[in-house]
Amino acid sequence: MGWHGNAPHPDSVETIGATAAPPAVLPAPQRWASDVIVDLLHRYQLPYAALNPGASYRGLHDSIVNYGQNYPCMMLCQHEETAVQIAHGYAKASGRPMVAILHNLVGLLHANMAVYYAYIDRVPIFIVGATGPMDETKRRPRIDWTHSANVQGQAVRDYTKWDYQPTVIDGVPESFARAYGVMMTEPRGPIYMCYDAWLQEQPLDHEVALPPIHAMPVPAPLAADPAALRQAAVMLMQAQRPVILAEYVGRDPRGFDALVELAETLGAAVYDINSRLNFPGCHPLNLSMVKDIFRDADLVLCLDVRDWEKPTTELVSTTRTMTSLVPEDCRWIDIGFGDIELSSWAMDYQRLMQADLRILGDTTQAIPALTQLCRDLQEGDPLAVERASARFARNAERHRAARARWALAAREDWNASPLSLPRLASEVWEVIRDEDWVLTAGTLDDWTRKLWDFDKPYRHPGRSLGTATQIGISLGVALAHRDAGRLVVDIQPDGDLMFDAGALWVAAKHKIPMLIVMYNNRAYYNDWEHQIRMAKQRETPLERAHIGMDLDGPAPDFASLARSMGWYAEGPITRGEDVGPALKRAIERVKAGQPALLDTLTQKR
């Protein structure tokens, strides 16, 4: 299925294997300043650049296409948000950064929301922008004035790790190298490099030195304090009912495997918040989505966690009342990046965790060290090993019981039409379970997590973010897995796709094979539910809660829409028994290199 390794892609003019070395640049009698930027894109091996065209970077565009031999491969998008989101999904799935190019001030402003989501999701994106010319005598009338700003990076400074605008071409290499290092240092995030339009277009009359090849582009990981880790190990050995809470551990596959080792050493339950896939879904110690494990916890170990509060509290949404599930005498340990990279503008840092022990350090390094410390303590304490074994057995039984409850609940309304969410999740799983599959972003209200076997770290790059993010991120995830030939599945909400239906064209244009299964309830139902809560509280008519929420009258025809943009598509599908055969037909097309969409109609919940 798909294409493998560095074998030529059928559309090789427009695409290049992500792992392939950059092509040799094309010498020309005259070099241009923008060629230096291309030299750096090659030096740092950034294989793809998603963009929406713009004249402000016409010099760089020409240098990429001709001097750089279309490396990074230019991926044309219909909207700047889509361009940033593709880079977002690619980085989450591959661990490697990607370029997004934004035209001047207006393109940057179009992309603002996508940049913000990349920042709060800790994703490295090398955003290239352009402005000016800053030389007023070179500005075209009107357009270059309305599309430029003083300190253009200010527009995204509150939610990028760094931005810079070099004033001469000799300042480009150093700032590029710094930007790359800042972007890739944990906690990672997007950077914005802004290049003056006139600067790009200047003839290059001298050699510009690039960063040394031997220079280390990214600092070594931040190590946790050894004494503090020993204290954490002692606290864990003393605990009777420890629970591990993990959020970004799985950003590195080594963290996924290391967390298994730690949990098994302790026999501790693991609650995976799923900002990345942190822990195998069917592992006996996985008690994600079982909040009751916190009710009798005497220690909570938070590993690279920001959102500790949502899993450990009960919320009455209508009154915004929260009640902690954790006993008052429970102890807390926090290992991660703490208050590094807090924005003074956005409050994505969540409520402050008042932990008994806070350790600053990269969990990829800290978890194996902590595991070894715990094992060392167990060697001198046979009772500790017995306690861990007993905990393992108790938590494994709770895991088994939870999976049994979910399997039973999934059979409710099995024959409903439109489909119930667990029926749809079950039908998809039965068809893909023997494939080398990847789930992109949405988890179908967590029914995939309850019914599927997430056994490898690459199966899922983490949960979706806000509306209008999933289709773009999913395209990036599919691009990241294309060369490995994996079956990439996007369970795609209808409201999200309506924000950027043009993104479907990107997959067909750039030969990104993926399978979309629509989660089509013909509504923005998350908000509809909020209106239902308000109606109940205020005793206003429930039947009016749908106003401003439904996607009906007319209902979008997603299958026809997809076919018009080069996809294979079927639907709408309303019966569960029709899903499996349609999936098999669609997967055949995906394996042949064509993206495919099934429009499945679902219950509101």
Amino acid 1: pLDDT: 30
Confidence of residue 18 (pLDDT cuts 50, 70, 90): low
> Contact at 8 Å (CB) between 224 and 335?
yes
Reported as a single tens digit per residue, the pLDDT across 331-346 is: 999 999 988 878 788 8
Amino acid 478: pLDDT: 98
Amino acid letter for position 425: A
Give me the residues paired with residue 131 across strands. Answer: 196
Of the candidates 310, 305, 314, 309, the residue with the CA atom closest to the CA atom of residue 244: 305
Give the H or E element holding residue 51.
strand 48-51
Confidence of residue 531 (pLDDT cuts 50, 70, 90): confident
Residue 396, number of CB atoms within 10 A of its CB: 17
Reported as a single tens digit per residue, the pLDDT across 375-397 is: 999 998 999 999 999 999 999 99
Amino acid 342: pLDDT: 80
Q: What tokens does 204 get?
A: 């290059």
Q: Hunting for tokens 């922008």 — which residue is that?
A: 129
Question: Is the per-residue pLDDT at 485 higher than 90?
Answer: yes
Amino acid 237: pLDDT: 96
Reported as a single tens digit per residue, the pLDDT across 73-87 is: 999 999 999 999 999
From first CA to last CA, the distance across the chain in angstroms is: 34
CA distance 205 to 326: 67
Q: What tokens does 530 get?
A: 């909020």
Share of the chain above pLDDT 90, in %: 81
Q: What tokens does 493 get?
A: 């909400």
Max CA distance (Å), the chain: 81
Give me the residues paired with residue 331 across strands. Answer: 299
Of the candidates 288, 281, 277, 287, the residue with the CA atom closest to the CA atom of residue 247: 277
Cα-based angle 48, 467, 273 (whole degrees, multiple of 5):
85
Amino acid 19: pLDDT: 64
Structural domains of the chain, with CATH: 33-200 (3.40.50.970), 226-407 (3.40.50.1220), 413-600 (3.40.50.970)
Of the candidates 221, 61, 43, 219, the residue with the CA atom closest to the CA atom of residue 128: 61
The better pLDDT of the pair 126, 527 is held by 126
CB contact burial 49-73 (16+ within 10 A = b; e otherwise)? bbbbebebbbbbbbbbeebbbbbbb
Residue 323: is it exposed, middle or buried by C-beta count within 10 angstroms (0-12/13-18/19+)? exposed
Amino acid letter for position 118: A
To the nearest whole number, what is the mean pLDDT of the chain? Answer: 93
Q: Three-state SS for 125? A: strand
DSSP class of residue 203 equals B
Confidence of residue 7 (pLDDT cuts 50, 70, 90): very low
Amino acid 341: pLDDT: 77
Reported as a single tens digit per residue, the pLDDT across 161-218 is: 999 999 999 999 999 999 999 999 999 999 999 999 999 999 999 999 999 999 999 9
Amino acid 8: pLDDT: 34
CA distance 107 to 52: 8
